[in-house]
Chain A
Amino acid sequence: MAAGEPRRVGYLYVLPALAVYVAFLLFPLLHSAWISLFDWDGLTLGTWAGLDNYFTLFAEAGLRAAFGHALVLIVFFSILPVCLGLVLASALHRSRVRGLGFFRTVVFLPQVIAMVVVAVAWQQILAPDGPLNSALRALGLDAFAFNWLGEESTALIAVGLVGTWVQTGLTVVLFLAGIGRISGDLYEAARLDGAGVLREFRSVTLPALRPDIAVALTLTVISSLRTFDLVYVMTPLGGPGESTTVPAYEIYHRAFQSGQVGSAAAIGITLTVLVFALSAVVLRLAGGRR
């Protein structure tokens, strides 16, 4: 800011961005919070419910289960891809494979495809007589040829594994870029000191990748909590025995189909708070000193 220019002029610079942000983000968010305090069917006049919608959130077993499923999905959408990503990225980086660009593209491809397409394709792969089970039976692994999407015990895992498949591409590319930034001198020094593959990974790669891990975790945790399309398309109506309902699905169902807009808004606000809280935790743990 130029000297002598009144401080308030600063706000003018921020104004355009702020106006857009308020109109399309802040206001709808506050409006949702306001609606969540009502018992409202979206059609007639709402009645004041105070925090009732939030209390029932915790009291309803089905909703608690939905949040539980979202936490399970974090393992598949976030933790597994980050672990796999670390292994794959360091392996790809070390072995200096020919056609690295090709592999990187292949691994990243699921990220580019629309989620609905991914879901439809996997629904067919996982069908009772689909390619996956046919392949398992051909290998003599009949015991593992589950009715993936049709059993309560496997439906969530099946959806989760597809999530892992999608998100691993993102983490690998992120980590490959991160490893590329690490100075070769460090690796050389480690090798001169007699460090093996594991030691090198632990002492050089992992610490240097810390910020990238934080970014990967934040992105994938948020997307796992927001999961909707994958669940909605692969296991319509929340899967066998409501085994795959997630908060985002509940919001959709309540707001658009069963006419419980207040309750839907309450779930939405709770989900927002949860996303904020988990992101803060991730940043604190993994983001560390930076």
Chain B
Amino acid sequence: MIRSRWLAAALTALTLLAACVPGSNLPDTRPTDRQAKDIRTDVAAMGEVTLTVWDQEVRGGQDKQITALNAEFQRRYPNIRINRVPRSFDDLRNTTRLGLTSVQAPDVVQVNNGRQDMGAYVKAGLLLPMDGYAEVYRWHQRFPATVLRLARYPASGEPLGEGKLFGLPQGGELVGIYFNKQKLARLGIAPPRTWAEFDAALRKAKESREVPIQFGNLEKSAGIHLFGFALNRFAPTEDVYKLATGRQGVFWADDNPKAAAELLVRWAEDGMLTNGFSGLGSDAAWREFAQGKGVFLVSGTWLMADLEAAMGDRVGFVLPPTDDGKVAVTAGTSVPFAISARSRNPDAAAAYIEFLTSSRGMALMAEHANLPVVEATSQRPPTAFRAEVFNSWAHASETGGLVPYLDYATPTAYDTVTSVIEQLLAKRMSPQQVLDKLQADVDAARGGR
């Protein structure tokens, strides 16, 4: 009798386990679009609402602007309570998966762009399409299409750039050239505007025993930016867009990507990069640059505030060189704000996102040394350096010169690109091997569809 009781218990346990196939607690219906005519925009009339917001605006200037905006929003609408949950980028990225699938999902989340993050959540139906809100709040008029397409996904989650809108960013990002003004003056060269000028500047810096390009690739993230920088020299922006998002018609083994890979090898061989870059952290690299080691630093505008604080007016910024006057720059947006499909107050959530990205939001972004995604040129930045960054962004985003980061094509693209570039610079892989590996990654993802 005891044995049969044990058997029953074991069977019950098994049935219980079997009933919970991982993921079975999630709804299998896709969220329905909010039509423009159903959307309520009168926030004051929405009653008592608590919005839970997960953001990653934790660094100095970011935190200041969002804190100020949250306070203003709640002053204007006392019926809304913002429950802010700030986390560092990595922490937020690691917990979003659990957050969006939990019963108490946040209303508004900053979701990292790319196939393995936003793409995967769109595919799983965890985010609310925002096209209705875009219509009501006229986002199409205020945001360039090249910016909005970086948060568009079809229901399958790929490819990026098509389908519905799932997020709206507050800030812009682009990878350009920081330079040390004192060193350029001493070398007797002007900020390089063409590739010939840039090449000559590198040679001159090298001859004068300076570090031409300050570079630290321990985390492997600097490598992907340097490769994108080189790729934009050779390939037309539309081609790079296709490569980066995994579209048909362009191949990694084409001549242009090959020329970019060879350029990287040449830079490493000719000592144009910091000695021992593979063991140098990226933070350590920009600090060395700030302390006067290195003529150029190829990096993103996320370093703007830090470099300005460390170097004052000794730091300058230019867009990547061009030979035909057509800007081609690796760029993106700050992490877009998205609405959870489980939010019980999507209209309030959208009104909040609209407020963050309004002209007032952009002004506060600029005031605290962040690069506003739109209306950058109408701001009055306090330094010439910041004005240069703002104008560069405005110029690039309005002339269609923005090219996405190279890791959007496949779920494994970031790992693959960073790893092969690291191997390329260490001369453990030839340019051809690198390109083959990149193409194989794209092909494998296609085969899996």
Chain A residues proximal to chain B, CB less than 8 Å:
30, 34-35, 38, 40-46, 48, 123-124, 126-129, 147-152, 235-237, 240-242, 256-259, 261-262
Residue from A44, A148, A241, A259 in contact with B116 in the complex, judged by beta carbons closer than 8 Å: A259
A126/B284 in contact, CB under 8 A: no
Interface presence of B120 (CB below 8 A): yes
Q: Contact check: which of B26, B94, B100 meets A256 at CB < 8 Å?
A: B94
Complex Cα distance, B331 from A28, in Å, reads 42
Q: Which residues of A lie under 8 Å from residue B26 when comparing CB positions?
A: 43-45
* Alpha-carbon gap, A258 to B411, bound state (A): 7
Does B373 sit within 8 A of A, measured CB to CB? no
B94 CB contact (under 8 Å) in A38, A148, A257: A257
Interface status of B277 (Cβ within 8 A of chain A): yes
B399 at the interface (CB under 8 A from A): no
Q: A45 is contacted by which of B28, B98, B418, B419 (Cβ under 8 Å)?
A: B28
Closest A residue by C-beta to B282: A236
Q: CA separation between A42 and B411, bound complex, in Å? A: 14
- Beyond the given pairs A45-B28, A150-B280, A256-B93, 7 more chain A to chain B contacts, judged by CB atoms under 8 angstroms and listed by A's residue number, are A38-B21, A40-B23, A124-B284, A128-B274, A129-B275, A241-B419, A257-B116
- 8 cross-chain CB contacts under 8 A: A34-B17, A42-B22, A44-B26, A45-B21, A46-B24, A124-B284, A236-B220, A258-B116
Do B278 and A43 have beta carbons less than 8 Å apart?
Answer: no
Interface size class of B (residues with CB under 8 A): 35 or more
Please choose the segment from B146-154, B242-250, B420-428 that sits at the chain A interface, where 4 or more of its residues have CB less than 8 A away: B420-428
Q: How far is the CA of A46 from the CA of B116 in the complex (A)?
A: 17
Residues in chain A near residue B279, CB distance under 8 A: 126-128, 147-151
B88 at the interface (CB under 8 A from A): no
A148 to B284 CA separation, bound complex (whole angstroms): 15
Q: Is the CB of A240 within 8 A of B426?
A: yes
Asked if A150 and B278 sit within 8 Å, CB to CB, the answer is: yes
Q: Mark the stretch among B3-11, B75-83, B121-129 that contacts chain A.
A: B121-129
Cα distance, A236 to B123, chains bound together (Å): 29
A236/B218 in contact, CB under 8 A? yes
The smallest C-beta distance from A23 to any residue of chain B, in angstroms, reads 15
B120 to A41, Cβ gap below 8 A?
yes
Note all chain B residues with C-beta closer than 8 A to A241.
Answer: 419, 422-423, 426, 428
Instruction: Give the distance in Å from the alpha carbon of A45 to the alpha carbon of B277 in the complex.
Output: 43
Known: A241-B422, A259-B116, A259-B120. Contact between A45 and B23, CB under 8 A? yes
Tell me if B101 counts as interface (CB < 8 A to partner A).
yes
Per the bound structure, the CA–CA distance linking A148 and B276 in Å amounts to: 9
B 80-100 contacts with A by CB, 8 A: 93-94, 97-98, 100
Indicate if the CB atoms of B280 and A43 lie closer than 8 Å: no
B281 touches A257 (CB 8 A): no
Is B219 at the interface (CB under 8 A from chain A)?
yes
Q: A41-B120, A46-B21 are in contact. Are A150 and B28 (CB under 8 A)?
A: no
Residue interface bits B259-288, CB-to-A below 8 A is 1, else 0? 000000000000000111111110010000
Chain A neighbourhood of B280, CB < 8 A? 127-128, 150
Chain A residues whose C-beta falls within 8 Å of the C-beta of B284 in the assembled complex: 124, 127
Instruction: Looking at the assembled complex, report how far the CB atom of A164 sits from the nearest CB atom of chain B, in whole angstroms.
Output: 20
Q: Is B412 interfacial (CB-CB < 8 Å)?
A: yes
Q: Is B415 an interface residue (CB 8 A)?
A: yes
Chain B residues within 8 Å of A41, by CB: 120, 124
The answer for the CA separation of A181 and B24 in the assembled complex, in Å, is 58
Are A46 and B415 closer than 8 Å at their CB atoms?
no
B117 shortest CB reach to chain A, Å = 9
Q: How far, in angstroms, from A3 to B126 measured CA to CA in the complex? A: 61
Known contacts being A128-B276, A152-B428, A237-B418, is A43 close to B219, with CB within 8 Å? no
How many Å lie between the Cα of A34 and that of B14 in the bound state? 10
**Is A147 within 8 A of B121, CB to CB?**
no
B23 engages A150 (CB within 8 Å):
no
Given A236-B218, A242-B419, A259-B120, A38 and B278 contact (CB-CB distance below 8 Å): no
B9-36 vs A: 1/0 string, CB under 8 Å? 0000000010001111010100000000
CA of A129 to CA of B284 in the docked complex: distance in angstroms?
Answer: 11
Instruction: Let me know if A147 and B276 touch, CB within 8 A.
Output: yes
The answer to whether residues A43 and B428 also contact, given A150-B279, A258-B116 and a CB cut-off of 8 A, is no
How long is the Cα–Cα vector from A41 to B124 in the complex, in angstroms? Answer: 10
Q: Which 6 A-B pairs have the closest CB atoms?
A: A128-B276, A150-B279, A150-B278, A43-B124, A46-B22, A236-B219
User: Closest Cβ of chain B: how far from A124's Cβ, in Å?
Assistant: 7
Q: Is the CB of A43 within 8 A of B418?
A: no
B419 & A237 in contact (Cβ 8 Å cutoff)? yes
Q: Complex formed: what's the CA distance from A274 to B219 in Å?
A: 30
Contacts of A40 in B (CB 8 A): 22-23
What is the 8 Å Cβ interface bit string for chain B, positions 112-144, against chain A (1 contact, 0 not)? 000010001101101000000000000000000
A258: chain B residues within 8 A (beta carbon): 116, 411-412, 415
B358 to nearest A CB, angstroms? Answer: 32
Nearest CB in chain A: distance from B213 CB, A: 15
Contact A43 B120 (CB under 8 A): yes
B275, A128: Cβ atoms under 8 Å?
A: yes
Asked, given contacts A126-B279, A150-B279, whether A43 binds B28 with beta carbons under 8 Å apart, the answer is: no
Tell me the bound Cα distance from A261 to B124 in angstroms. 15
Contacts A149-B218, A237-B419: A257 and B93 contacting too (C-beta < 8 A)? yes
Task: Assess whether B121 is in contact with A43, with CB atoms less than 8 Å apart.
Answer: yes
**Chain B residue at minimum C-beta to C-beta distance from A265:** B22
| Least CB distance, A244 to chain B, in whole angstroms | 12
Most buried by B among A43, A46, A242, A261: A43
